């Protein structure tokens, strides 16, 4: 079954991609300028992926017939693949004609098709410095996007090889402008452009929405978030959505946000706004790893708790087993922090592995 019919303009470029999976066979149309992953996800198939940026290797497939351009050959994810067997990363590869693939996963087509393209262009229209090494940027999209709180997109800049994954700070239907937090990373090429050159007005390729670390109010669960640095982005979208539906009138939430020092904190006004709207249902604790002594509450925003230490250690000290049995745990940040936070959620907060959501970007 072809789930997406060729559009008139690109008929000649459209390849039919057949996919054999653990749960059966299906096919979809893919143009020569789309990746195998993007076209398959657009058609509504739950192809496996995590980072969508060529790093993790989760989206690997074996090309059984036809020719496929593997794309970025130096992608870190290619190092562990059997190129001699025809293995490709679907997030990088594009079809050069009809082809057939094997994907070693269970793949389903959800009842509700995505019904939107994943590939867009966007222009950076806002760049706002939040701290010495964090900026808030907003990208105006060529076509509006529907996405859920907690999702991410990948971004490609014309001057750089490969894509970067960023979680949106906002969420919604028919969203015309995406907001992100970008933290300067040592040797980070995209963050170098954001900090050293002027990103304002830059045209970018935007692919998404992606990711499964989503918040849906109808799930009716408490919310526990542990984030480090720019990992707070997805948590802000969760707080925005929860606040809009007055979620914390009926549920509890606690956001643990880790930064180094008092001068590294950002989005304080936003936290204060969400806390004021939530009354007692929501707590926000900012963990400061490089401070030795801080007041228990922020001097200007008294509803924000402050604590010293690594964010997962602060969460471990604060969380009591049994109190969060009904919660979904969300985690985002640098890899070592994510690993430690997952252990805290399972062992300290008593949250089952099936109730924890995070997207790996590396």
Partner 1 sequence: MSWKQVCNAADVPANTLKKFVTGGVSLVVANYDGTFRALPPVCPHMEEPLEESGVIANCVLTCTKHLWAWNLASLDTLGEAEKPLQSYETKEEDGKVFAFIDKEIVYEFDEDDGDDDDDFFSR
Q: Applying CB under 8 A, which residues contact partner 1?
A: 22, 62, 64, 80, 82, 85, 102, 104, 106, 339, 342-343, 346-347, 350, 352-354, 356
Pick the closer one to partner 1 by CB: 82 or 173: 82
Burial 147-182 (b: 16+ CB within 10 A, else e): bbbbbbbbbbbeeeebbbbbbbbbbbeebeebbbbb
Pick the closer one to partner 1 by CB: 104 or 216: 104
Pick the closer one to partner 1 by CB: 213 or 286: 213
Length reported for the chain: 362
- The CB-of-70 to partner 1 minimum distance in angstroms stands at 18
Query: What's the rounded Cα separation, in Å, for the pair 210 and 145?
Result: 11
Pick the closer one to partner 1 by CB: 91 or 351: 351
Neighbours of 295 (CB within 10 A): 9
Name the pairing type of β-strands 94-95 and 119-131: unpaired
Name the pairing type of β-strands 60-65 and 253-259: unpaired
Pick the closer one to partner 1 by CB: 139 or 223: 223
- The CB-of-33 to partner 1 minimum distance in angstroms stands at 29
- The CB-of-150 to partner 1 minimum distance in angstroms stands at 16
Query: What's the rounded Cα separation, in Å, for the pair 229 and 235?
Result: 11
Query: What's the rounded Cα separation, in Å, for the pair 43 and 51?
Result: 19
> Do 297 and 305 contact (CB within 8 A), yes or no?
yes
Alpha helices in the chain (DSSP H): 36-42, 189-196, 232-244, 268-278, 311-318, 335-347
Pick the closer one to partner 1 by CB: 208 or 329: 329
- The CB-of-208 to partner 1 minimum distance in angstroms stands at 21
- The CB-of-50 to partner 1 minimum distance in angstroms stands at 8
């Amino acid at each position: 079954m072809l789930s997406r019919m060729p559009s008139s303009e690109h008929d000649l470029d459209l390849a039919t991609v057949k996919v054999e999976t653990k749960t059966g066979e299906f096919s979809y149309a893919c143009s020569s300028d789309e990746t195998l992953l993007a076209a398959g996800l657009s058609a509504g198939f739950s192809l496996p992926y995590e980072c969508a940026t060529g790093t993790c290797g989760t989206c690997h497939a074996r090309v059984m017939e036809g020719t496929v351009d593997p794309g970025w050959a130096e992608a870190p994810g290619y190092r562990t693949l059997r190129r001699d067997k025809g293995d490709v990363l679907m997030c990088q590869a594009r079809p050069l004609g009809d082809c057939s693939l094997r994907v070693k996963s269970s793949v389903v087509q959800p009842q509700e098709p995505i019904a939107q393209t994943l590939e867009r262009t966007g222009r950076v229209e806002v760049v706002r410095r939040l701290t010495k090494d964090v900026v808030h940027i907003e990208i105006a999209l060529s076509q509006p996007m529907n996405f859920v709180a907690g999702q991410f997109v990948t971004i490609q800049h014309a001057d750089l090889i490969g894509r970067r994954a960023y979680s949106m700070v906002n969420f919604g239907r028919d969203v015309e402008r995406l907001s992100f937090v970008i933290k300067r990373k040592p040797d980070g090429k995209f963050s170098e452009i954001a900090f050293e050159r002027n990103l304002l007005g830059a045209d970018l390729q935007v692919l998404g929405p992606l990711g499964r670390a989503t918040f849906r109010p109808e799930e009716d669960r408490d919310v526990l978030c542990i984030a480090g640095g720019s990992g707070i982005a997805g948590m802000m979208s969760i707080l925005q959505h929860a606040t809009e539906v007055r979620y914390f009138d009926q549920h509890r939430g606690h956001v643990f946000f880790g930064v180094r020092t008092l001068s590294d904190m950002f989005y304080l006004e936003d936290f204060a706004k969400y806390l004021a709207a939530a009354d007692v249902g929501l707590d926000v604790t900012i963990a400061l790893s490089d401070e030795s002594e801080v007041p228990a509450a922020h001097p200007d925003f008294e509803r924000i708790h402050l604590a010293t230490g690594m964010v997962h250690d602060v969460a471990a000290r604060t969380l009591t087993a049994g109190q969060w049995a009904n919660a979904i745990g969300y985690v985002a940040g640098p890899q070592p922090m994510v690993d430690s936070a997952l252990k805290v959620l399972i062992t300290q907060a008593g949250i089952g592995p099936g109730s924890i959501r995070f997207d790996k970007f590396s």
